[in-house]
Structure 1
Amino acid sequence: MSLINLDLCFNNFTNLSHSNASLPASLTMLYLCRNNLSTLACGWSFLRLIELLDLSYNPHLPSKAFQGVDLRQTRYLRLRSTNVSVSVLLNVSNVKAGHVDFSGMGLKSNKRLTELCTLLRMRVHWIKNLRLGSNGIKNLKSNTLSNCPKITQSLDLSRNQLKSITCLNFLSGHKHIQSFSAEHNHLTSLPSCTGKNMLSFKNVTELSVRYNRILSVNSHAFNITPNIKTLKLNINTIAFLHREALKGLKKLETLRLDNNLLTDLFNVTFEDLHNLKTLNLRNNHISVIFNGTFQNLGNLTTLDLGGNKITHFEASGLDGLKGLVKLYLDGNNLKQINSARYHVFQDTLKVLDLQKNQIRFLTEDRESPFMNLSKLSDLKLDWQMPYGITLLPRAFFHGLYSLKSLYLSNNRISHLAPDAFDHLTDLRFLTLDSSCVGVAQLQPGVFKNLRKLKTLIVENMGIQNFSKAVFGNLTELEILQLNSNVMRSIDVDALEALPKLQYLDLRKIPLSCTCENSILQNWTLNNKRVQLVYLYSLPCQYDKKFKFYNFDTKVCYIDLGQYLFFSTAAAIFLFTVIPLLYVKLYWKMKYGYYVFRSWFSEQWRRLREEEENCKYDAFVSYNSSDEHWVLNQLLPNLEGNGSSFRLCLHHRDFELGRDIVSNIVSAVYGSRKTICVVSRNFLQSEWCSLEIQLASYRLFDEHRDVLLLVFLEQIPERQLSSYHRMRKVMLKKTYLQWPGSDCTDPVQAQDLFWNKLRRALRKGSIADEEKTDKNEGCCSNDASDTSLCFFVQE
């Protein structure tokens, strides 16, 4: 590409010295402003192709620097704030006088201006543009510019100190001038220009007096310029605009009155402006638009009333605007949208700006105020003050079939109906940022008809879920701004449903750096078509030191399905089987538990090693309700009356502070035998049941005669059948029945009972016991002596 424009300002150049170098032939604009040039010191042809040369703000640049430099092709030479003398420059340089900008060259007096005009007149007879800005000119006499060459296009007197332009009488002899500018001066008023001796500048088409201090514009102020097309009166302090100030401006097309202090507009103010196309009244103090104000503005296409204090329009306040295309009403005090006022331009209006008003809806039962605006393409309703629109009526946008841009930002809308945007089938741009209260619940299908939408801004709406059901129909979407919402994850399928997406903003979204977003991380790093804003700056939600793009996702790809299946199946099986086992095998499991615990603590080994030297002859297992019999019968007969047996009783011999189960285990395995005093209460006791379980374990596992059963009462066999292990013991081993009072000879029977029990305690082996049982013929399952052994279980 060929270089056309070269900006070298602010580089501290002191000269343009070169060694036979040349600028590119394509270069036409060269900016050397704000350097320290004290000379050009360049060859004759170095600058010959430059058309725009800016040497302004080089305070040490002298006039002689241009001697020997070819500037014939230069069409604009700017020398503001240099040390260049106009007269010397025109004598030593071949630049055309009409192509020099004389702004900022110290021409502040009428004398110097007259000298300039004389020099110019000696070289040319006419000049297109005369630029005299920033020279400190305070006033111009009627003959000051009379000696200048005829100005055919424009005169610029901006940034001087003019206090009056006196109906342009200083332009006598320059009736062909087309544009006059006196911006940034000290003008305070524009007087009436009527009278027989007034000059007329019929060729002037543009007049600008912006950035002054004009307070009033009097009647017929522009009589001398009847054919102007552009009038700029903006950025002044105009509080008084005479009703006939604009009288006669029938060719005016653009009128700038913005940023003034106007309060009232009258129906005759714009009476003659039949060709006006653009009227800018922004930032004044207008509160009411009266009937007929714009009655004669049939060709007006743009009306800007923004930034005023308008509360309402009178019935025919907008009448006459039959060709209006753009209407700006932003920044006013309108509280409702009155569709009846828009009927005049309903077939032409394309842009309607209502932002920053006071429009608010509290109910949904409203008809669309835009029903007949079928050509409207741009609608702004954002920033309604002070509470926002609050509620969006269901049919609010009905009729806007041509709408392409819709602005609804900052409106605190509490609910968006699923059909809120159904009629906006041609919409291309939609902004809803900061428009909801709290968390936004976007309904599935809310954007279903926006198939042509290209830009969607839903920033700071409190959106929790980004789903395909909500955003899936936006097949033409190119720009999506989701920043400052509250979703922790984003469905990649929803993003993939946007095939034309090019720009995605996810800033300030608390995305979690978990497996839930592992697919999203992979998508953001590998997609080539979507520009993701600040991807490498997105932090993890809970640890700002880590970034979303590189959080560890290795664990996310382990297939846990099989493990979860088997663990779940095992858990279900256990929860099903354990209750059944608990009911059927409670005591066996409990016994097994204690046996295992004792085994684990090597209790079995210790007790077996001590078995030959047992501490007790017998451990007595009984229920507390049978304690009277144990203490008054069993204890005296086995430990007293000359007997030498040592019995272990739990209330007397258990070790204090020791676990009760450990005490029972020690008692069973620390005694040669276990005597179970069986009664109905015994059978119902859990601890007694545990004691007989442990004793029977020794009986069946060690094949030793360690268990003696003593029945204190008759217990039917059917009651014993539920006690499986006791029934098993009775079928295999001898048991004794305590003789009751119904015996033939109770005294003799009890003596025999104690003899049998002592003999059983002395026996150490199973063989000995069985032999004794047969010899005695009594107290066994096959007893034959019915006179004495009536206590044997029947």
Structure 2
Amino acid sequence: MASLTYQLLSVTVFLGAVQLISGYSFNNCIEDPYSDGQSFNCVRRKEKNMPAIINDLPPSAVSLNISTTPLWHIPNKSFVHLPNLQHLKIDNNHVRIIDQFAFQNLSQLKSLNLSFNNISELIPSVFKDLHNLTYLSLTNNTLKQLPEGIFSTLLNLDTLIMRQNFLTNFSGIAESVSHLTNLKKLDICFNNLTSLHHSNASLPESLTTLYICRNNLLTLGCKHSFLGFIQLLDLSYNPRLPTTAFQGVNLSHINYLRLRSTSVNVVEFLNISNVNAGHIDFSGMGLKNDNLLKELCKSLKRKVKRITKLGLGNNGIENLTKNSLSCCPNITVALDLSRNNLKSTSCLNFLNTQTLIKSFNAEHNHLTSLQSCKTQNMVYLKHLEELSYRYNRILSVSYYAFYNTPNIKTLKLNINTIAFLHRKALKGLKWLTTLRLDNNLLTDLFIDTFEDNVNLQILNLRNNRIAVIFNGTFLSLSKLTTLDLGGNKITYFQPSGLDGLKSLSKFYLDGNNLKQIDTSFYHVFQDTLTVLDLQSNQIRFLNAEIRSPFMNLSKLTDLKLDGQRPHGLTVLPRNFFHGLHSLKSLYLTNNNINYLAPDAFDDLTGLHFLTLDNCCVGVTQLHPGVFKNLKSLTKLIVENMGIQNISKEVFGNLTQLHTLQLNRNVMQSIDVDALETLPKLHYLDIRNIPLSCTCKNSLLQNWTVHNPHVQVVYLYNLRCPHDKKVNFYNFDTKVCYKDLGEYLFISTAVVIFLFTVTPLLHVKLYWKIKYGYYVFRSWFSEQWHRLREEEENCKYDAFISYNSSDEKWVMEELVPNLEGNESSFKLCLHHRDFELGRDIVDNIVSAVYSSRKTICVVSRNFLRSEWCSLEIQLASYRLFDEHRDILLLVFLEPISERQVSSYHRMRKVMLKKTYLQWPGSDCTNPTQAQELFWYHLRRAMRTGSRLNTEENYKSTVSLSSM
């Protein structure tokens, strides 16, 4: 109960202290945690209504992505509350209707992406407010035509993309963009255009890039100067476009022209066109054999003496001879023969007249092997720097396969089926810097495989079948910075298998069969290695006490240990990360660690990113201090760890934490104190957690709703576990605490009442209160029950209550007449019978309840005595509340009723019971009167103490007249 009271008070105080402003969690959007309130993603939501998606976004939004939703309508003024928006994506939805004023107030918008929707019609003025728009994409919609003036206000438009629609009227397109003086790129590929016919419209002079690929062009049909300023023109995949279509068309500014998969005859085209021959891509133009190639080359040579690039891809070429390109102008940079049917390159002998080439591309062909090129008749290509044989069917690479290209810097042999790489295959490639051998079938690397590649910097051997790294394999690669051995079958390294890698910075070993991390492997990397990827191996530790394998990796910044097979990393040894003071990122996801020691991460003082997603077995208890040294951590992912509780003892030292992902755990409550110890927290993900909608989480509810600094992801979609129809953010918490105003009103009212009433009580009822205190005290004394016995068990016949000034009369008159031989009553007197050392109140109570009667000897002094008043109070209490006739009043002197009236209980007794008046010396016959007085007193002493319930009379025995 005390705990609940404390919680209620805490809630009340917290509500009073916090300024009730809205936090910034959003119904259907997530703010990019590092965008400072400017970038929002509203992706994969089920909401169909645009206002419901974005109405709660702040006006600071600059970038907004709404994609993959069932949204079908963009109503008027949808974004009017987002005046600073510059980038808007509404792609991959079901939008088919956009209202006229949908984009009103977006005067700052620079890019708008409406691609992959169902837009079939646009209102002419829909874009009229977008004066600063530079990029517009309408790709993959169902537009058939453009309304007049659709782009009339987009004077800053730079890029317009309308691919994959059903546009048929090019004249309308040209008219709509003719006034866009800043337009540089227009993409209208994948439409139904049949010609470029236009009325009086002309393309803007600023337009340099025009894509009209994959239409149904039958002709160009444009004026001579219509394409005069175009630099990049793509007319590919217009299969019925004839050569004659270019008759009289000015293409003098073209820098790149694609005519792939058209009906254009290349030789005829070169004869009738003014395009620079060196700027044409001849890929996909049916140049299948030597004759056609020779004819092309002759035509080119008549136009130019040198050509920078020659693209001959996708022509179905099966074989090239020494004469194939002999008639061509000199190619100075690149030759592209990709996507042909070449089965052999014959050591590139067909380039005997093209020795100036720097780049050769033979990707996507049918090559099965690379033969040895150390022959007498080889063509020596000393200028060749880049060679690519990717996406072929190469099984083997012979010795000295690149002997005639010694200056290659980039060699791409990846994505083949190379099972045999001769140990001297790369011999002579001393200037090689990048080697791609990934995605092949290599099983062995030898000590002399890379012997000559002394300048190699990047070596990719990913996804092969290498099982062992032998001694000295990389001994010559002192300049290598990146080594990728991921996706192989490596089980171990021989002792000096990694020797020579003095400059290695990035080392990828993921997806192998390593069972342990040997510290001897990494002694060569102590001053260089920054990235180490060991994920998806078979690393396990049975002993928690091992020497750290990372002791010498003082420069390591990125370490991946996630997903160890088959059952994950189960034991995380003590001091496992010892020495990794520079580590920035650590990945431990998808393991089965059964215990995280409190000092597990103590050495990672520089860590910025830590992910423990799904890393542990079952329910995890994070021990206090487990993150105590991670004061630089900015992002922590602890998803699906079975965490039961969050406490400030665990998270209290994460003073720089910016992002915390807790989703898919099992805690039913989250301690707000723990969250408040994270001063830099900006992003909190608590989805899929069974947070109870009870008073236990009332503080958390208030914190999530009103915290202005922390974004709680999809807060308004979090449901209560007991009732999916109730939301966590607004479950009823009225039963958990009183309203602050009501609480303050009651407290203030009570205080004012006490300050007002206390002085009055002190003045008017001081003695009554004091008497009440004594009665209350008597009530709870242990004597209370003991003294309430039957009257035959009473110790005394009467207790005599008198003032000390009347003691002479009591001792000389009362005691002799009642305790004498004639009466033999036993009296209780203060000075004689009270127990020494006992509290006086207890003595009085004991005397009243141990006596059959209480005789009050009343005088003016008696009425002024505090203790006498208490004694008559106690006696009268017994009289009225226990219905016992035990009180006898004896007045020693005449006292008026006015004097007695202030003694309420005495006056009440006088109204109900008999009282005696002592006959003074002034009476007629004092002796006889006194004898009669003693007679009545003795008689009253002998009567029983039980009251007659019907008795209610006033009887005064006054003997003064006798």
* TM > 0.5 fold call: yes
Q: CA deviation at 1:55?
A: 3.1
Q: Which residue of 1 aligns with 2:251?
A: 71
Q: Secondary structure at the match of 2:293?
A: helix
Rounded to whole Å, the distance in 1 between the matches of 2:402 and 2:307 is: 25
Q: State the partner residue of 2:194.
A: 38
Q: Distance in 1 between matches of 2:787 and 2:249?
A: 117
Change (3 A) 1:221 1:487: same
The partner residue of 2:540 within 354, 360, 368 is 360
Q: 2: distance between equivalents of 1:585 and 1:90?
A: 133
1:319 equivalent to 2:499? Answer: yes
Return the alpha-carbon distance in structure 2 between the equivalents of residues 478 and 46 of structure 1.
Answer: 55
Q: Does structure 1 retain, via aligned residues, the 8 Å contact 2:298–2:328? A: yes
Please give the residue correspondences for 1:535-574 in structure 2 after superposition, counting only pairs within 5 Å.
535-558=715-738
* Matching residue of 1:190: 370
Specify whether residues 501 and 91 from structure 1 end up closer, same or farther in structure 2 by C-alpha distance, changes over 3 A only: farther
Out of 523, 526, 530, the position equivalent to 1:343 is 523
Separation in structure 1 between the aligned mates of residue 233 and residue 712 of structure 2, nearest angstrom: 43
- The residue number in structure 2 matching 1:16 is 170
Contact conserved, 1:38 with 1:62, CA < 8 A, in 2? no
Q: Which residue of 2 aligns with 1:268?
A: 448
Deviation for aligned residue 1:213: 0.6
1:85 matches 2:265:
yes
Q: 1:504 aligns with which of 684, 694, 712?
A: 684
Q: Deviation at 1:441?
A: 0.7
| Post-superposition CA distance 1:686-708 (Å, at most 9, x none) | xxxxxxxxxxx9xxxxxxxxxxx
User: By how many angstroms is 1:182 displaced?
Assistant: 0.7
| Structure 1 residues without counterparts, runs of 5 or longer | 566-576, 587-696, 698-727, 734-765, 768-794
Preserved contact between residue 330 and residue 353 of structure 1 (Cα < 8 Å): yes
Q: Deviations over 1:248-296 (max 9, x none)?
A: 0011011111111111111011110110111111111111111111111
- What is the 5 A alignment of 1:523-542? 523-542=703-722
- Equivalent residue number for residue 305 of structure 2: 125
The number of equivalent residue pairs is 588
Structure-1 residue corresponding to 2:160: 6
Amino acid at match of 2:616: C
* SS of equivalent residue, structure 2 residue 724: coil
How much does 1:52 deviate? 2.9
Quick one: structure 1 residues 37 and 66, their matched pair in 2 at CA, closer, same or farther if it must change by over 3 Å? farther
Alpha-carbon contact 1:51-1:75 (below 8 Å) kept: yes
1:384 corresponds to which letter in structure 2? Q
Q: For 1:500 and 1:539, how far apart are their aligned partners in 2? A: 27
Residue 29 of structure 1: how far off its partner (Å): 3.6
- Aligned with 1:152: secondary structure? strand
- Equivalents in 1 of 2:232, 2:710: separation in Å? 42
Which amino acid is 2:166 matched to? N
- Change in CA separation of 1:156 and 1:15 when aligned onto 2, cut-off 3 Å: farther
* AA in 2 matched with 1:11: N
Matches within 5 A, 1:193-592: 193-558=373-738
Q: Partner letter of residue 519 of structure 1?
A: L
Deviation at residue 66 of structure 1 after TM alignment: 4.0
Distance 1:165 1:540, change over 3 A: same
3-state SS of 1:155 partner: strand
Change in CA separation of 1:241 and 1:305 when aligned onto 2, cut-off 3 Å: same
- Paired with 1:272 and 1:23, the residues of 2 have a C-alpha distance of 60
1:643-685 Cα deviation digits (max 9, x unpaired): xxxxxxxxxxxxxxxxxxxxxxxxxxxxxxxxxxxxxxxxxxx
Shift of 1:13: 3.1
Q: Which runs of 5+ in 2 are unaligned?
A: 1-133, 135-155, 203-223, 748-778, 789-882, 884-942, 952-962
Q: CA deviation at 1:101?
A: 1.7
Once the two structures are superposed, residues 740-794 of structure 1 have per-residue CA deviations (whole angstroms, 9 ceiling, x without a partner) of: xxxxxxxxxxxxxxxxxxxxxxxxxx99xxxxxxxxxxxxxxxxxxxxxxxxxxx
Do the aligned partners of residues 505 and 732 (structure 1) sit closer, same or farther apart at CA in structure 2, a change above 3 Å counting? closer
2:308 paired with 1:154 = no
Please give the alpha-carbon distance, in whole angstroms, between the structure 2 residues aligned to 1:531 and 1:113.
64
- Identical aligned pairs, as a percentage? 66
- Pick closer, same or farther for the CA change 1:284–1:89 going to 2, 3 Å: same
**2:287 paired residue among 95, 102, 107:** 107
Could you give the per-residue CA deviations for residues 445-478 of structure 1, whole angstroms, max 9, x where no partner exists?
2111111111111110111112222112222222
How far off is 1:408 after superposition? Answer: 0.8
Give the distance between the partners of 1:163 and 1:27, measured in 2 at CA: 45
Instruction: Answer whether contact 1:23 1:46 (CA < 8 A) is retained.
Output: no
CA distance in 2, matches of 1:540, 1:45: 69
Provide the C-alpha distance between the structure 1 equivalents of 2:702 and 2:243, rounded to a whole number of angstroms: 67
2:431 touches 2:455 (CA, 8 Å); kept in 1? Answer: yes
User: 1:529: Cα distance to partner?
Assistant: 3.6
228 and 23 in structure 1: CA distance in 2 versus 1, 3 angstrom threshold: farther
Contact 2:393 2:416 (C-alpha < 8 Å) held by counterparts: yes
Give the secondary structure class of the aligned counterpart of 1:180: strand
Do 2:525 and 2:552's aligned partners in 1 also have CA atoms closer than 8 Å? no
Deviation at 1:351, TM superposition (A): 0.9
Distance 2:244 2:686 in 1: 61
Point out the more displaced range, 483-492 or 424-433. Answer: 483-492
Q: Note the C-alpha offset of 1:513.
A: 2.3
Residues of 2 paired with 1:509 and 1:290: CA distance?
50
Aligned to 2:49: none
**Displacement of 1:91 after TM fit?**
4.0
Is the Cα–Cα contact under 8 Å of residues 39 and 61 in structure 1 kept in the other structure? no
SS in 2 for 1:545: strand
Tell me the equivalent position of 2:858.
none
Contact 1:31 1:53 in 2 (8 A): no
* TM-score normalised over the length of structure 1: 0.69
Q: 1:559: Cα distance to partner? A: 5.6
TM-score by length of 2: 0.57
- Deviation of 1:20 after TM superposition, in Å, equals 8.3
Q: How far has the Cα of 1:64 moved from its partner? A: 4.1
8 Å Cα contact 2:232-2:257 kept in structure 1: yes
Seen in structure 2, the aligned counterparts of structure 1 residues 515 and 159 have a Cα distance that, compared at 3 Å, is same
Asked if 1 retains the 8 angstrom alpha-carbon contact of 2:316 and 2:340, the reply is yes
**How far off is 1:528 after superposition?**
4.1
* Cα distance change of structure 1 residues 7 and 731 upon mapping to structure 2, 3 Å threshold: closer
User: Are 1:175 and 2:329 counterparts?
Assistant: no
Following TM superposition, by how much is the alpha carbon of 1:300 offset from its aligned partner in structure 2, in angstroms?
Answer: 0.8
Give the drift of 1:373.
0.8
Alpha-carbon distance between aligned partners in 2 of 1:377 and 1:79, rounded to the nearest angstrom = 49
| Secondary structure, aligned partner of 2:586 | strand
- Runs ≥4 in structure 1, deviation > 6 angstroms? 560-565, 582-586, 728-733
In the aligned structure 2, how far is the partner of 1:155 from the partner of 1:395? Answer: 56
Q: Which amino acid aligns with 1:205?
A: E
Q: State the secondary structure of the residue aligned to 1:546.
A: strand
Alpha-carbon contact 1:260-1:284 (below 8 Å) kept: yes
Q: CA RMSD in A?
A: 3.3
Report the Cα distance in structure 2 between the residues aligned to 1:458 and 1:265, rounded to whole angstroms.
Answer: 40
Pair 194,5 (structure 1): closer, same or farther in 2 beyond 3 Å = farther
C-alpha distance in 2, partners of 1:309/1:473? Answer: 41
Query: By how many angstroms is 1:115 displaced?
Result: 2.2
